[in-house]
Structure 1
Amino acid sequence: MKRFGTLSFGHYGPLGGGHELSAADSMLQAIDLAQGMDELGVNGVYFRVHHFARQQSSPMPLLAAIAARTQRIEMGTGVIDMRYENPLYLAEEAASVDLISGGRLALGVSRGSPESVVRGYETFGYTGSEDPRGADIAREHFALLLRAVEGEGLAERDPYSPFGGGMGLQRIEPYSEGLRSRIWWGAGNRDSAEWAGRTGVNLMSSTLLTEADGTPFDLLQAQQIDAFRAAYREAGHAGEPRVSVSRSVIPITTAQERMYFGGRQDGDQIGVIDGMRSTFGKTYAAEPDVLVEQLLQDEAIQSADTLMITIPSQLGVDFNLRLMDSFARYVAPSLGWESTLADAPAPVSASDRRQS
């Protein structure tokens, strides 16, 4: 494991006891968390994208704000639902954020996860899918996104235009060199992972797979990763693609963490999602030394280069910074990770950061 970061679902709404987290709270806290993670020397902050739900839905403004407040940390999406996207507008936005951040965008896209509405992408104007889950629309949009990001000319120039004119085809602007190498595809099964490998993008593998044959989740996921890498090599792509896996990992070092998460050693679970039997990965919640032993036995974590830790963002910035500080200090080094800082400072509280 060379890198790790947080994966936030960005939930907001009632928290119980008369407390409520607003959409503004969720986004502002995400910025504070990213800055604190940057100061810790953690590698990345990544955000889930959901429409028609009380979660983060338009990540590019948030990522641009994070880019302006951080120096080193990678920021990304896990994942943008391509069924909902105008691929050319997304290419413009992604290039803009990548340029603002100095090449720190990890653009994770896919068909998306199960929705809270029925075929919501049709409400956004994207109709005509012949697939009950809209996978054909997602792949079509993704293909055009890649062409745009690669700088292909897509619109005929107007030779009489006062704004440049000329002949031939014009590419989307702005163009960010290198962004193509930082595009990820979120795959929920082996076929999708192999397709990503043949396409020549990086792989994001989540905490569930739409496969269920009794094989432990981490082994299923490791097999998916192997299939992805084999397809990437066989397609003749240069270099080594990156691979990330996400997990729920809670280092328990305080009484508060034990109160919230003690005894949460869930095993793999089998369920039905999008009409398919699926395997869900377990939650790791234990003292740091126990976590090290457990994570070293997780075949997929050992195979991937990046671990995205799903965080309880509703519990606030300081709580999550403490979790990540504990993971960085007491767990990650034993998994092969090294901080991006030679001497990482202690985390600063969100309230102190805002005052400064």
Structure 2
Amino acid sequence: MPPSTRPLRKLGFLTIGLFDGEDPRPGHESTLRIIELGEQLGFDSAWVRHRHLQYGISSPVAVLAAATQRTHRIELGTAVIPLGWENPLRLAEDLATVDVLSGGRLNPGVSVGPPRHYDKVREALYPDTGDLEDFGYGRVSRLLSLIRGAQASGFHGQEGIEVFSDRVQPQSSGLGRRLWYGGASSRSAQWAGEQGMNYLTSSVVRAEGAGRFEEIQLSHIQTFRAHHPEGELARVSQGLVVIPTDSATSEQRAKYQAYAAKRLPRTTQPQGPAKMLFSPDFVGSSAELAERLDTHLAFREVDEVAFALPFTFEHEDYVQILTDLATRLGPRLGWKPAA
């Protein structure tokens, strides 16, 4: 197999962290055990999705705070926190606190836009300011500036026995360089680059003009780097669904193939008013997957990935997938596990 343009330097994975609404603890515990396994297998990063009013992780910052106390090396990320649900000042405090607890391993990924089903949730979320909230890039700018040390208050100093800061506390050195923007369009790629952020791509893009998924995604990566101060050195991570089957049982292989087949129709043309185009899922042996990825135009332009685990599988399935990613597929892509 010919070498990729950019040999894989960092291998990560992404999980949604599903749980049973009647008994939520086992699902959360499974997520933490998966992160622990990822560290043991040498993965560079573990990422969690964010789901509000669903049966997936609603508070990734809290879950990752727990993960900081059960791991020592692996980087911990969010992909992504929808800022429409967040107060940037409070989120900045939470992120900085978890980054301190982790020893500087947090990689927060964020996105913009109004909350899903906003008309149904507005009264609970923003009962007094629902018509005034800014759900655009300004919300990210506030978060960025606060994490990077901008003034948050007009008051600082001592008042009685209490001491006040005019900046977010704690201040976590380096966190401002580890913020990611989850984008799917040329506009978001350009904006993230201009802000000096890192860029998360996934298995969905906005269909802007003609072209296959990988061609559109490649154009977003190139746009991001063209507008980033670090140019070609700017960090981009790709998040395709990649499922190796080397050590899978016959039942697991059948389940994985059925999962991918069920989702395949949405990849044939753009979906919905936003014209979102999905990537096919990658299922097969590590040898087959390496060959397919080596010809993927966007994959060839990145040296970091956070392969997404499917939503609805069992804990044992994730163990098998992660083990094959780390021991079979990763090495075929030029990756070496962390010590």
TM-score computed with the length of structure 1 as normaliser: 0.84
Within 5 Å, give how 1:102-117 maps onto structure 2. 102-111=103-112, 115=116
Quick check: 1:82–1:138 contact (8 Å CA) kept in 2? no
Q: 1:270 to 1:239 in 2, by over 3 A?
A: closer
Whole-angstrom distance in 2 between the partners of 1:85 and 1:122 = 15
Separation of aligned partners in 2, 1:244 and 1:321: 22
Which residue of structure 1 aligns with residue 130 of structure 2?
127
How many residues of Structure 1 are paired with residues of Structure 2 in the alignment? 324
Distance in 1, matches of 2:73 and 2:58, equals: 24
- Which residue matches 2:173? 177
Q: Which runs of 5+ in 2 are unaligned?
A: 1-7
Amino acid at match of 1:245: Q
- Residues 114 and 331 (structure 1), Cα distance of their counterparts in 2 relative to 1, 3 Å cut: farther
* Counterpart position of 1:230: 226
Tell me the amino acid that sits aligned with residue 329 of structure 1.
Answer: T
1:85 match: 86
Note closer, same or farther for the CA distance 1:162–1:187 as it changes in structure 2 (3 Å cut).
same
Native 8 Å contact 1:50 1:115 kept in 2: no
Residue type at the aligned position of 2:130: T
* Cα shift at 1:241: 2.4
Q: What letter is aligned with 1:33?
A: I
Q: Give secondary structure in 1 for the equivalent of 2:307.
A: strand
State the shift of 1:163 in Å. Answer: 4.1
Could you tell me how far apart the structure 2 residues matched to 1:289 and 1:41 are? 20
SS at match of 2:337: coil
Inter-CA distance 116–11: structure 2 relative to 1 (3 Å threshold): farther
- 1:190 aligns to 2:205 (yes or no): no
Residue 277 of structure 2 aligns to a residue whose secondary structure is strand
How far the C-alpha of 1:144 sits from its partner, in A, is: 1.3
Taking every aligned residue pair, what percent have the same amino acid on both sides? 27
Which stretch shifts more, 94-103 or 259-268?
259-268
> Residue by residue, what CA displacement relative to the aligned partner does 1:243-275 show, whole Å, maximum 9, x if unpaired?
1111111111221321212363648332324x2
Deviation at 1:141, TM superposition (A): 2.1
Q: CA offsets per residue over residues 201-245 of structure 1, 9 Å max, x none?
A: 000112111215441111110110000000113xxx589321111
Q: Select which of 152, 155, 158 maps to 1:154.
A: 152
Aligned equivalents of 1:151, 1:34: Cα separation in 2? 30
**Matched AA of 1:10:** G
Q: Over the residues paired in the alignment, what is the CA RMSD in angstroms?
A: 2.4
Q: Which amino acid aligns with 2:25?
A: A
Do the aligned residues in 2 keep the contact of 1:110 with 1:138 (CA within 8 Å)? Answer: no
Correspondence for 2:270: 271
TM-score by length of 2: 0.88
Q: Determine whether 1:308 maps to 2:306.
A: yes
Shift of 1:56: 0.9
Whether the 8 Å contact between 1:49 and 1:55 is mirrored in structure 2 is yes
* 2:269 partner SS: strand
